[in-house]
Amino acid sequence: MRAAMDRIEVEIVRLPGSEGLPLPRCMSSGAAGLDLPAAVPVPATIAPGAIELIPTGFAIAVPEGYEAQIRSRSGMALQHGVFVLNSPGTIDSDYRGELGVILANLGREPFTIARGDRVAQLVVARVSSVSWVEAEALVSTGRESGGFGHTGGQGGTGS
């Protein structure tokens, strides 16, 4: 049995240039991410090794206590080497500007984005505020300060 997902309301505004584009939406009933369309007025080509900011034509009001995360689409990353560079990009609850997607092309071929192409996913998630508690030392663990491959990589070499 599938548990019900939390549902929150998020205000969204169409900005000039978003006319005719669909609102961000999930493409299946179990999808966590809402696909973001490109609001490019003409096709935009990202050369191999290049980075481009792709507009979406939308601004949102993320409720306090939440963030929106912009993430790569797995098919674009695997098939073309195109991904969200600062993934996940965070949209804070007090940001009201246009959602933009920073795409990088690590593929071997130029990648062209047309108006309305789905270029990234948007996930809205709860966040916690932090209150720091300074301590003289941290509770000991089996791992301690080991990181970056400490628990073993391919072949169990630890690197």
Average pLDDT over residues 6-31: 93
Q: Is residue 24 part of a domain?
A: no
pLDDT digits (tens, 9 = 90+) for 93-140: 999 999 999 999 999 999 999 999 999 999 999 999 999 999 999 999
Structure letter (DSSP) for residue 79:
H
Mean pLDDT value across residues 29-43: 95
In 3-state terms, what secondary structure has residue 45? strand
pLDDT in tens, 95-108: 999 999 999 999 99
Task: Say what the alpha-carbon torsion angle 153, 71, 41, 16 is, to the nearest 10 degrees.
Answer: -160
pLDDT above 70: percentage of residues in the chain? 90
Residue 158 has pLDDT above 70, yes or no: no
Is the separation of the CB atoms in 68 and 85 below 8 Å? no
pLDDT of residue 2: 57
* 58-87 confidence digits (pLDDT tens): 999 999 999 999 999 999 999 999 999 998
Q: Identify the CATH number of the domain in which residue 100 sits.
A: 2.70.40.10
Q: Please indicate, yes or no, if residue 17 is contained in any of the structural domains.
A: no
**Structural domain range at position 113:** 30-128
Structural domain count, the chain? 1
Would you give the distance in Å from CA 29 to the centre of its chain?
A: 19
Q: Does residue 1 surpass a pLDDT of 70?
A: no
Residue 53 lies inside a defined structural domain of this protein: yes
Decide if 109 is inside a domain: yes
Whether 93 is covered by a domain: the verdict is: yes
| 23 within a domain of the structure (yes/no) | no
Q: Is the peptide bond before 41 cis (omega within 30 degrees of 0)?
A: no
Confirm whether 121 is domain-assigned.
yes
pLDDT in the model for residue 153? 60
Residue 38 lies in a domain: yes
Instruction: Please tell me the predicted confidence (pLDDT) of residue 14.
Output: 97
